Amino acid sequence: MFKRSVVFAVISALFLICGCGKSSKEKSFTVGFDADFKPYGYVENNQYTGFDIDLAREVAKRNNWKLRLKAINWDAKDMELNTGAIDCIWNGFTINGREDAYTWSSPYVDNSQVVMVRSNSDIKVLADLAGKVVAVQTDTPVLKALKEGGKRAGLGKTFKKMVVSPNYNNAVMELEAASVDAVALDIGVAQEKVKEGKFRILDEVVITEKYGIGFRKGNTALRDQVESTLKAMVADGTAAKISAKYFNGRDCLIIGK
């Protein structure tokens, strides 16, 4: 009897330590993103912020998940995802051309690829890029479109040179320094940059694309949970408020509508 009591006491103590038989470990949700991609994800006052970051925060909050934000090297995004270092890529991530590489959420933002030039540039239309030096970010749909075999290869062939930059900030710095004549980039990022008054966007669009959240192939359970939560945020107006914060009052979300 005494031995039984001791065993029972030990088991009871273990249950208390472990949370009464239930795991006390909080579920985490790790989002990989490019920290130089304003307004979707960037650093401000030593904190990660941005449109996609705020959406992810709200999704994690509603699911009682601990959000972990991981700024990644864009070239290493697939390794980060496939090794489990991150749960998804959520940062103005283009679906077009990558349809079979990931398990995707439904598109949540329409996005076009445009060309940005200095305010005093004589470049007015895409045809004026002939003989010019144009910068693009590495591993982006617009780079693929402009390269040989791409949808806009004809346009790309007219350039004097195409400079591949590691990130958009670097490309824009080169534009400001007049090291390049133009930058091909996402319209959301371009609209953010033109606020500085140094640049303008050409009216013609290079390509049209859609953004989605990319998960590891086959991870439909997490994809479905995140998408369901995001749609609920759209339905109750929370997502629109987040969008308005970063896009001059505009609701740019298309998911769930």
Average pLDDT, the chain: 89
121, 162: one domain: yes
156, 202: one domain: yes
Asked whether 151 and 227 are in contact (CB, 8 A), the reply is no
User: Domain for residue 256, yes or no?
Assistant: no
81, 117: one domain: no
pLDDT for position 189: 85
Strands 88-94 and 207-215: antiparallel
131, 188: one domain: yes
Average pLDDT (183-189) is: 90
Q: What CATH number should be reported for the domain holding residue 193? A: 3.40.190.10
User: Domain for residue 23, yes or no?
Assistant: no
Strands 103-104 and 36-37: unpaired
User: What's the number of domains the chain is made of?
Assistant: 2
Tokens for 186? 């996402």
User: Domain for residue 255, yes or no?
Assistant: no
Query: pLDDT band at 167, cuts 50/70/90?
Result: confident
User: Domain for residue 192, yes or no?
Assistant: yes
User: Domain for residue 65, yes or no?
Assistant: yes
177, 242: one domain: no
Average pLDDT (156-174) is: 94
126, 57: one domain: no
In tens, the pLDDT along 38-57 reads 899 999 999 999 999 999 99
Q: Is the pLDDT of residue 203 over 60?
A: yes
216, 230: one domain: yes
Per DSSP, the three-state class of 241 is helix
pLDDT for position 26: 75
pLDDT for position 188: 82
Tokens for 185? 């980039």
116, 194: one domain: yes
The CA distance from 114 to 208, in Å, is 9
Asked whether 107 and 156 are in contact (CB, 8 A), the reply is no
Query: CA–CA distance from 27 to each of 6, 33, 112, 222 (Å)?
Result: 34, 20, 35, 12
Query: CA–CA distance from 76 to each of 73, 164, 228 (Å)?
Result: 5, 16, 28
The CA distance from 146 to 132, in Å, is 14
Average pLDDT (20-40) is: 79
Quote the DSSP letter at residue 84: T
Domain with 92, as residue range(s), is 28-110+211-246
DSSP 184-215: EEEHHHHHHHGGGSSEEE-SS-SEEEEEEEEE
134, 201: one domain: yes
pLDDT for position 19: 41
236, 185: one domain: no
In tens, the pLDDT along 51-83 reads 999 999 999 999 999 999 999 999 999 999 999
User: Across 11-15, 25-29, 131-135, which has the greatest mean pLDDT?
Assistant: 131-135
In the chain, the N- to C-terminal Cα span, in Å, equals: 66
In tens, the pLDDT along 204-253 reads 999 988 999 999 999 999 999 999 999 999 999 999 999 999 988 889 89
Specify the higher pLDDT residue, 223 or 196. Answer: 223
Q: Is the pLDDT of residue 172 over 80?
A: yes
Tell me, what amino acid is at 204?
A: E
Average pLDDT (177-198) is: 92
94, 135: one domain: no
What is the CA 208 to chain-centroid distance, rounded?
16
pLDDT for position 8: 40
User: Domain for residue 16, yes or no?
Assistant: no
Tokens for 75? 């070239």
83, 156: one domain: no
Query: pLDDT band at 25, cuts 50/70/90?
Result: low
